[in-house]
Amino acid sequence: MNKNITNISGVTLIEILMGVVISIVMMAAMFTSYNVVNNTYSKVTDTAKMSQAGREVLGMIMRDVRMAGYKYFGDNIPYDAKEHIPIKITKQDLNNPCDKIEIVYGDIESNPLKFKRYRVTYECVEDTSNLGLKILQKKKEVWVGTLPGAFQVDGTSDTYDSEDVVQYVQDLIFYPIDNKGQIIHPPPSDINNTDKVNSIKLVEVLLSVRSKNKFFRSKKKRIKEVLMDGGRKIGNTEDKYLRETILITAHARNVGL
C-alpha cells in the first residue's frame, strides 16, 4: 500500500511577527548608537576647529605686535605723530563691535632700495548671518609718501583689503601694559596719553569664540566675566552653544627703541 505523506515545514505568523519586532529593536539600537557617536564626533570636531581657529589668529596677532615700531637702520621715512603710532588700540564703542588694534612697522624693498612702512589692522564687523556674533577681519596697508598721513592698499601682494580671519567671534579685547605691569588707560593715541605711545611693553589679548553648532542639550545662561573688564560679559544669553575664551600676552619688543 502506498502512503502519500506530505511534510510541510515553515514558520507561524507569531514567529514572523517576533522576528520583525526583534529586527526593529536591533535597527533602532544601531541607529541610536550611530546617532550618539556621530553627535559626539561632531561636537569634538566643532570644539577642535573653534579652538584651533582662535589660537591661530592669536598667534598671528602676537607676531604682528612683536613687529610694532620696528624700523631698519637708516629708515628715512618722516615720522608722523598721528599716523605712525606703533600700537593704537580703540576700545569697543558704537562704531566698534570689539576692540580694534592698529600696528605700524617698517620694512625695506631691496630692488630698488626703498624703505616702507606698513599698518596692520585687526577689527570686527557684525556677522549679519549670526545675530550677536562678529567676524574678525585683518587689513594691511602701506604708507604712501606722496600723500602725507595716508595708508592705503596699493594693489601689490604685500597689501590687502579687509579679509575675514575668524568667524563666530563673541568678543575681542586688547589691554596695553606698561613696563610696571599696569594697564594704560585710556590706550595711547594721538589724542589720549600721547606721551605714552612708546610706553607699551605688553599687549594682553583676549579672544572669545563660539561654537558653530549647538553643543549642550539644554539652554542655560553661561556667563563669563571678561578679565579686568566687568562690563564685558561673554555669553550673556540663554542658548546651547559652547564658548571658549583664549588669553595671550604679546611682547611689544620694538616699541620705544
pLDDT at 235: 63
CA dihedral 56, 96, 149, 163 (to 10 degrees): 40
Per-residue model confidence (pLDDT) at position 135: 95
Residues in the chain: 257
Integer distance in angstroms from the first to the last C-alpha of the chain?
A: 122
pLDDT tens per residue across all 257 residues of the chain: 555 555 666 678 888 888 888 888 888 888 887 777 766 666 777 777 777 888 899 999 999 999 999 999 889 888 888 889 999 999 988 888 999 999 999 999 888 888 999 999 999 999 999 888 999 999 999 998 766 658 999 888 899 999 999 999 989 999 999 999 999 999 999 999 999 999 999 999 999 998 888 888 888 777 666 666 666 766 667 788 888 888 999 999 999 76
What's the rounded Cα separation, in Å, for the pair 109 and 113?
Answer: 5
Q: Left (φ > 0), alpha (ψ -120 to 50) or beta: where does 167 sit?
A: beta
What single string gives the DSSP state of each residue in 48-63? HHHHHHHHHHHHHHHH
Residue owning grid cell 549679519: 128
User: What are the cell numbers at 99?
Assistant: 576692540
Per-residue pLDDT, 188: 94
**What's residue 89's pLDDT?**
96
How confident is the model at residue 45, as a pLDDT?
75
Q: By the 8 A CB rule, do 77 and 145 touch?
A: yes
How many CA atoms lie within 13 Å of 29's alpha carbon, on the beta-carbon side?
6
User: Do residues 51 and 242 make contact, with C-beta atoms less than 8 angstroms apart?
Assistant: no
**DSSP-based three-state secondary structure for 252:** coil
Domain definitions of the chain by residue range: 40-251
Burial class of residue 180 (count of CB atoms within 10 Å of its CB; 0-12, 13-18, 19+):
exposed
